Amino acid sequence: MAVKKKFTANSGIDATFTASGSASSRSLDAKLQEISLSATDFGAVGNNLTDDSAAFASLEAQNKGARVDLLGRTYLVSSCPKNCKYFNGHFRVASTTYSQPPVPLAHPLDGPVIAIEENSKTHHWPGPVAHAGSADLLIRTGVPGWRHSTSLNAPLLSGCSYDGGLTWEQPRVVWASATAEPRGLVGGAVSTSRYGVFYILVDAAGARQGTRFSYTDDLAANWTTVTVPTMGMYPHGEFIFDDAGGINVFGYGPAASGDIYRARSTDLGASWTVSIVKTGVAPLNQLVEPAVVRIAANKYIMFARNDAGGNMYAATSSDLGTWTSWADTGVALGLNPPAAIMAWGRLWIYMCARTGSAINSWENKLLVIESDADAVWAAGGVLPTASAARLAVSSKKSLIGYLTVSQLRDGTFIGYMIDGETTNGSANPHTTRLLRIGGSAPVLSAPALLNFRRRQPPITHNACFNHWTRGSSFLAINSATPVADRWIVSKTGSTIDVTQVEVPDTIRKILPASGLSALSLVGDAAGSGRSISQRFLGKNKIFPLLDRTVTMNCIFSGDLPGYYRARVTVNFGVGGSASRTVDFADCSQRAATAAITILTATGYTPNADGVTWGTNPFIQFTLLSNDAGPAAATIYALWWDLADGYIPLDPQDFDAERAILNQYTQRMSYPSGSWVSLARGNGSANAEVDIQFCPMVGVPTLTADAASALQINSTTLSAVSFDQTSAQSSRMIGTLSSGMLAGNAVGVTSVASGSTWSILADVKY
């Protein structure tokens, strides 16, 4: 009989080998299919068109916590399902697509662990992170102190991330004092437009000096700070939103009291009420750092550690105000702070096993326990005996811990944790890291560099505003108006003026790729938004740009107020499906010089799954300046590229670019005395003149200079009009100022001496 030996290869293939050397293998996909459900088994269609909300509701009602293979499809739903482990597909809510991981995650914070700040002589107090008022922009707060013990003058800082929390920019001071340091940061998204952080102030001795709540309604540009009426509580954990619409923060009282505090707001953090909801009783009078989690409507569980060491304790509540007695969970937590979240219909408890406070012999590890939330609730917070801690993250040799966790819009969780200190995890830091754990797969927004050569042309033409065929001045624009070729300018609020301006030599030395001209945009204080966009007409242009990663870049100076957003819209034409629009992150803003700003945003274009195509479809790329106030900006370059990497703008071949633009807009100019075309008479004052131009993408509208600049033979024209226009020619009717051209007689149409004449063929969008 052949002897079989089984091993798991690094590639994810199980191979069973026999003594004869034969082998059979099962792919990872095959194994996942054996242990996973499929969304289609419950009636979901996944064509990005049919509403699959009911199918997923049925699936989750019967299979909470199960693995569900989305089969690579996109499912239209009213909100992202969250009670199963979904993978290998996408959910679309309105115009936003949420991508699920390619394979099931092991736990909610599974995925790459990335050091945001590393090897700095700083102790980081990691704060909350959340979306607030933007599709992809993240806001985070934190305190970079110079030691683990109190660091007076250490400010509470906010930052914005445009790449899923990988990098943080635009740091702003939220609160700072020479006599206190912010601690115990709890917060996140308060509403769809508000981000807030709750914290306590400590003095040089670590004594509590007050409690504050700071919030922003304008993406961290400005902050409002309110005083919370307590000095007794030390906040810990995450926001808990109760079933009555309140925001709750939990904390603990002075040392050896065992009191648990609750701060609650019903007006989005503008005011707070504070109460003690659990009074410490010996011997459990040293319970601290509570982590509260909502597992279902009117069901809450609180976990806490004992400052004297030992096991983790738990209590339950149906209203967050009245709690059961503490119950011993049986989990050896030691002196380590817990964190608890609900995900995929399961309860997950994270524990930082710090130096000198091992959990099951583990130190310097982030551990996680998965449990049945309903069973834990029924047991008063006690975890089943079978619950065992698993390794989530390995840290350096001196983990300090303090994990903050927030849920993002797509249902994923993102965490930040401080890792690495001195050998005993306290006092002054030696080498520290602020770690990003979990989170959505970021759409990268690469750094805006100006000096590398591109390897492919940009998506959009006329990126440097070199071509102004339509004209050089467009005043009092009050609707979408084509200006520099291929670019459409629009506004919200008062009218705007757009003019062609010359780029100064000082700017051209800084921006060698800049063209000879730029676009000046001026609007008064009544304006509340401006946009610049470009369209591509026809399915043959649209298809290569669907469901792709693209990056928008803009270089400008001056005042262009607003939150900058990049947007892609696909219009499926007259008689077709409704348009699909995707807004990218509010743009990353970088300074090239003191006067020049570079905007960058990366995201995905819409797809066309399940749509009906009509006539005259188009795809449009737009940069929006999305705020009120006067504008006086000069835009030197604006371009879109395929892929998620910034591709700097090299000078483009002027003639080659003009040949492409001629498909949309052509101005044919004729100098003094030049020949235009033959004219044929019909025995009246009107003569027919054949006008030819390069083939265009559609039938253009023709406009011309004054007819008096033209003559047929030697007779001046008094009027011209156009008809019988196609994509490459038109008939011009020239009206003679006197006399007539006999029927079928042929004359010569030319420009009068001392005059010039031009005709504009313009494919209107």
DSSP output for 171-222:
EEEEE--SS-EEEEEEEEESSSS-EEEEEEEE-TTS-EEEEEEEEESSTTSS
Contacts of 509 by beta carbon, 8 Å cutoff, 6+ apart: none
Tokens 């929006």 -> residue: 624
Ranges of residues in the chain with a pLDDT under 70 are 1-35, 119-120, 134-135, 385-387, 421-430, 442-455, 512-513, 585, 592-594, 645-648, 651, 765
Angle at 465 between CA 461 and CA 466, to 5 degrees: 95
Angle at 163 between CA 162 and CA 166, to 5 degrees: 115
Q: How far apart are CA 223 and CA 84, in angstroms?
A: 37
Q: Which tokens in the block code for residue 437?
A: 């754990």
Q: What does the pLDDT read at residue 577?
A: 92
CA distances (Å), 187 to each of 70, 214, 243, in order? Answer: 33, 9, 18
Beta strands in 338-430 (DSSP E): 338-343, 346-353, 365-371, 390-394, 399-407, 413-419
Q: Which tokens in the block code for residue 518?
A: 């730029």
pLDDT digits (tens, 9 = 90+) for 330-380: 899 998 999 999 999 899 999 988 878 888 888 889 999 999 999 999 999
Q: How far apart are CA 759 and CA 471, in angstroms?
A: 12
Q: Which tokens in the block code for residue 580?
A: 């699909």
Report the number of secondary-structure helices (H) and strands (E) in the chain: 6, 56
Q: How far apart are CA 754 and CA 765, in angstroms?
A: 35
Contacts of 732 by beta carbon, 8 Å cutoff, 6+ apart: 677, 688, 689, 690, 691, 702, 704, 720, 721, 722
Q: How far apart are CA 235 and CA 214, in angstroms?
A: 14
Contacts of 112 by beta carbon, 8 Å cutoff, 6+ apart: none
What pTM value is reported for the model?
A: 0.74
pLDDT digits (tens, 9 = 90+) for 407-429: 888 788 999 988 876 555 455 66
Q: Which residue from 236, 259, 414 is spatially nearest to 338, judged by alpha carbons? A: 236
Q: How many residues does the chain have?
A: 765
Angle at 136 between CA 122 and CA 587, to 5 degrees: 85
Angle at 431 between CA 203 and CA 137, to 5 degrees: 75
- Tell me whether residue 20 is exposed, middle or buried, using C-beta atoms within 10 angstroms of its C-beta: 0 to 12, 13 to 18, 19 or more: exposed
Tokens 């946009």 -> residue: 531
Beta-strand relationship, 85-87 and 67-69: parallel
Other CB atoms within 10 A of residue 115 CB:
13
Reported as type and span, the H/E element at residue 660 is: helix 654-661
Q: How far apart are CA 31 and CA 373, in angstroms?
A: 27
Q: CA 740, 744, 749, 753 torsion: positive or negative? A: negative
Q: Which residue from 286, 287, 290, 314 is spatially nearest to 301, judged by alpha carbons? A: 314
Which SS3 state, helix, strand or coil, does residue 542 take? helix
- Long-range Cβ contact pairs of 212-218 (< 8 A, separation 24 or more): 212/175, 212/182, 213/265, 213/269, 213/272, 214/141, 214/156, 214/174, 214/175, 215/190, 215/268, 215/269, 216/132, 216/139, 216/158, 217/133, 217/193, 218/133, 218/563
Angle at 686 between CA 682 and CA 688, to 5 degrees: 70
Task: List strands edge to edge, sheet with 564-571.
Answer: 481-482, 488-492, 529-537, 618-625, 564-571, 580-586
Contacts of 64 by beta carbon, 8 Å cutoff, 6+ apart: 83, 84, 344, 345, 346
Other CB atoms within 10 A of residue 96 CB:
16
Give me the domains of the chain, ranges plus CATH numbers.
1-26 (no CATH), 36-104 (3.30.750.60), 113-438 (2.120.10.10), 473-661 (2.60.120.260), 666-762 (2.60.40)
- Tell me whether residue 386 is exposed, middle or buried, using C-beta atoms within 10 angstroms of its C-beta: 0 to 12, 13 to 18, 19 or more: exposed
Q: Which tokens in the block code for residue 328?
A: 């011993």
CA distances (Å), 311 to each of 290, 508, 575, 602, 660, in order? Answer: 14, 67, 66, 47, 72
Beta strands in 398-455 (DSSP E): 399-407, 413-419, 432-438
